Amino acid sequence: MLGAAAAAGPLIRNDNPLIYYHGRWDASPSTWWEGSGFKLHVDGLSSLVLNLGNHTTEPFVQLGVSVNYGPFNTVNASLGANEIPIESSALTKGGPTVVRINSVGWQDNNLNLESIVLNAGAKLVPYVPSKLAFQFIGDSLSAGVGPGSQGQFLPQGVDQAWPFLTGEAFKAEHVITAQPGAALTDILSYGNVHGVSYQFFKTEDTGYYYTADHNFTTPWNFRKDVPAPTHVVIHIGANDSAQNVTADAFVDTYLKFVARLRTIYTHQPIFVFTPWGWPQADGPNSYYYPGSYPKIVESRRALGDHQVFLVNTTGWVTYDDVFPDNTHPDVDGHQKIAGLFESWLKDWGLQPESKWATPA
């Protein structure tokens, strides 16, 4: 049931240029890949309604909502009109309010935005993105994996994952292109019909295959990533190892993937994570592809690419930092990883922005 203020305001179409979209959206427009969403800068905001179309996940899609850079709260939204709960104490008094909304899940994550209704007297004003922008690439160890995924992992999905937390700490724009169960190698892996080396260049995540109204892929137009990423972070390989991809074959695939990334991200620093391993209750972590990740970095540098850097995560994650039943990082574990990577980045020479580019 919508309040009178919510129903009385201006209707904003989904093609309004003042909606700042981030992540992967198809033409409908509908989100793919967790973390995809949009940002609004609204003068005089007191209520917000999202009108969602029939490509929205049924019975609902889980959204993360943040007001004025506060904590993200999870909201269930479905086909039709959805009033987004906003605490009046979070709103800017006498000025514009920043609202950030994203899809939090790695599956059932399609948000089909038709229009937005604001309260009477409210109006959209420009959102200015941060000059600092991260592109994260990975699997479940980066995705967080959230509610609805057979009880696995983080209650708020990607909004509690270390890449998301790192982006927030640096007051940066951040896009996370990570798919649980997917290998880097383009093979079938845990229900993913393609690997990340294929799917990264597509609009759709690997869930397209199982989506009745959209079981096809379309190339992603990287010019839509505005601003273009300033830094690229890759943490992948666990599922290649699980599918018995040999170390030599994995290194070859990784090098070809980075070479293709370089046709898009021609000069940006690329950070290659080593595995932090699978923690054990009664022994040391087990690791996959030992020695392969330094080889990848060394091979790129031998080609003259000195903007590829190794992030050695050995010792970052212990058994105390993971869910015992699946050895993926828990909420505290993701916070720990984010803190360690933030420290690593500062030592490397990257400092957080002093303030968000769009003030609250």
Q: Is 214 within a domain?
A: yes
Is residue 359 very low, low, confident or very high in pLDDT (cuts 50, 70, 90)?
Answer: very high
Show the domain range for 165.
Answer: 133-348
CATH number at residue 270: 3.40.50.1110
Q: Looking at 45-59, 142-156, 208-222, 326-340, which range is the least confident one?
A: 142-156
Q: Is 209 within a domain?
A: yes
Number of domains comprising the chain: 2
Q: Is 248 within a domain?
A: yes
Residue 147 confidence (pLDDT): 53
Which residue, of 125, 151, 173, is where some domain finishes? 125
Domain co-membership, 215 together with 326: yes
CA proximity to 29, closest of 48, 50, 55, 51: 55
205-223 pLDDT tens trace = 999 999 999 999 999 999 9
Domain co-membership, 118 together with 215: no
Residue 169 confidence (pLDDT): 98
Six token digits for residue 67: 């007001």
Which residue, of 107, 125, 143, is where some domain finishes? 125
Domain co-membership, 38 together with 145: no
Residue 152 confidence (pLDDT): 57
Domain co-membership, 217 together with 270: yes
CATH number at residue 49: 2.60.120.260
Bridge-based pairing of strands 96-103 and 31-43 is antiparallel
Domain co-membership, 155 together with 284: yes
Assess whether pLDDT exceeds 90 at residue 9: no
91-123 pLDDT tens trace = 988 889 999 999 999 999 999 999 999 999 999
Domain co-membership, 156 together with 22: no
The alpha carbon dihedral of 126, 127, 130, 133 has a sign of negative
Assess whether pLDDT exceeds 60 at residue 333: yes
Q: Is 353 within a domain?
A: no
Q: Distance (Å, rounded) from C-alpha 47 to C-alpha 358? A: 20
Domain co-membership, 141 together with 68: no
Average model confidence (pLDDT) across the chain: 94
Domain co-membership, 137 together with 78: no
Domain co-membership, 216 together with 340: yes
61-96 pLDDT tens trace = 999 999 999 999 999 999 999 999 998 889 988 889
Domain co-membership, 325 together with 179: yes
Residue 46 backbone phi and psi in degrees, to 5: -135, -20
Q: Is 358 within a domain?
A: no
241-281 pLDDT tens trace = 999 999 999 999 999 999 999 999 999 999 999 999 999 99
pTM of the model: 0.96
CA proximity to 183, closest of 231, 134, 244: 244
CA gyration radius, the chain: 20
Domain co-membership, 254 together with 303: yes
140-189 pLDDT tens trace = 999 987 555 444 579 999 999 999 999 999 999 999 999 999 999 999 99
Which residue, of 125, 160, 193, is where some domain finishes? 125
Domain co-membership, 9 together with 96: yes
Residue 1 confidence (pLDDT): 35
Assess whether pLDDT exceeds 90 at residue 2: no
